[in-house]
Amino acid sequence: SASSFRAFESAAAALYAREAAVYAERRPRSSAACRDHGAGFVSNVPLHWMLDWPMPFPMVVAEAQGVHIADIDGNRLTDFCLGDTGAMFGHAPPPVVRALAGLATRGFTFMLPSADAFAAGDLLAARFGLPHWQVATTASDANRFAIRAARAVTRRPKVLVFDGCYHGTVEDTLVDLVDGRTIARRSLIGQVADLSQTTVAIPFNDVDALRQALAAGDVACIIAEPVMTNCSMILPEPGFHEALRALTRAAGTLLLIDETHTLSTGPGGYTRVHGLEPDLMVMGKPIAGGVPAAVWGMTAAVAEAFAAARDRDEHGHSGIGTTLSGSALQLACLRACLEEVMTEEAYAAMLDRAAEIEAGLASVIRSFGLPWHVARVGARLEVVFRSAPLRNAAEARAAAMPETERALHMMLLNRGFLLTPFHNMVLVGPGVTNAEAAAFVAAFADAVAELSSSAEA
Ligand code: PMP
């Protein structure tokens, strides 16, 4: 009810202040480093996002290995953020470290294929089902290039996204659906071109809206996460992916699936596990073990049309590619990651532990009688502040409890567990033990008990 929502939020604000003080007290060195030595950077950090965590100041990391992270003040945490997915298969995976060491005397980047580059292409095709791939340096770029290719191939102007999406810094996707209209996301800085001219946003899980949006025949591609993971967690309703594929095929619109986060589902990603049939697919972040790399794959038909589009123009400035993309560094790490890190065994351990944590959190939620639930896509879980599954971003926005979320983060952090900021997201890497999973559930129970009793007081 509204009153318990308000009671929770105001109790959470008070608990947050207490926990933030505990955090700061344990981190004199991190605090001094950020204050005294950061002047070379804007706002004292190398990337301004680092100020968006719920902590009062960032902890300064000394090292991270596997699923553990330690700061310069000697605090060691179990890491369920994993660099917001960049380290989903663990920090500094040994096979990737060996690949890096092997390059030490052989060079990193030539704008030419390296001897082991070709093996990585075959591995991608075999695992993810699409026959042809290209390498980029970030998932943002891979999405940008895949969209450009889709427009070239279809010769259509528009991109369709689902409200609440995040696909990186791609302008075409940085929109929101407000009162039925697509507008540039209000947080976007320095945007000049009117994004509503070329992007259409519709609610996830809305087949009628999809049919209508495709009817004009001007949509080059739909870009979608198969499960929305950047607006709380919104699972597809039964039949939604089938409708998405059938309607895009009928309309001549390409389907671009962004698996950057849903690679958590299993080997081959959500696409392979659930038999999706995208025309284009993007993955970034953890695909090369945390070394900056991303890939985009396409069907034979798209690859052929893409090659033909390039032949129409002068070579060079295609708007696709960056100088360091496809480097020996990326390919060696990509290959090591696919062959030796993203294994069946690694996934099995991640999924088992994630299922245990999901069951544990759900039972805590039940025992406190809270109107919350846990959503999960493989190794990725999200605590959602309402009892029914979310259907779309409007519902996700309505279910937000920012103070409660912030307080939960800090309480769990002070109890030894790091969660992903802007989410109640738990990403379970390989190597989390049963004991750690149980300790995390106990810490969550403890935090919820405090929140509930302060909300009642
Ligand atoms: N796609 C998805 C689904 C993402 O969640 C993100 C980042 N959170 C990106 C793309 C962009 O990744 P990057 O910031 O590494 O470019």
Instruction: Give dist(CA 147, CA 136) in Å, integer.
Output: 13
pTM of this structure? 0.98
Query: Residue 173: CB within 6 Å of ligand 1?
Result: no
Report the range of poorest mean pLDDT among 104-108, 283-287, 373-377, 432-436: 104-108
pLDDT surpasses 80 at 312: no
User: Which ligand 1 atom sits closest to the C-alpha of 168?
Assistant: 11
So what's the ipTM on this one?
0.99
User: In this model, does residue 142 exceed pLDDT 80?
Assistant: yes
Predicted confidence (pLDDT) per residue in 345-393, tens digit: 999 999 999 999 999 999 999 999 999 999 999 999 999 999 999 999 9
Ligand 1 pocket residue status of 380, Cβ below 6 Å: no
Q: Work out which ligand 1 atom sits closest to the CA atom of 142.
A: 16
| pLDDT exceeds cutoff 80 at 315 | no
Q: Which atom of ligand 1 is nearest to the CA of 140?
A: 16
Q: Compute how many other C-beta atoms are within 10 angstroms of the C-beta atom of residue 84.
A: 16
Task: Give, for ligand 1, the residue of 85, 143, 166 to mutate: max count of ligand atoms closer than 8 Å to Cβ.
Answer: 166
Q: Which domains does the chain have, with CATH numbers?
A: 2-79+344-456 (3.90.1150.10), 94-341 (3.40.640.10)
Nearest C-alpha neighbor of 137 from the set 278, 271, 269, 288: 288
| Nearest to 266, CA basis, from 2, 60, 89, 63 | 89
The pLDDT tens digits for 237-281 are 999 999 999 999 999 999 999 999 999 999 999 999 999 999 999
For residue 259 and ligand 1, the question of a CB distance below 6 A is answered with no
The pLDDT score that the predictor gives to residue 140 is 98
Between CA 330 and CA 108 the distance in angstroms is: 8
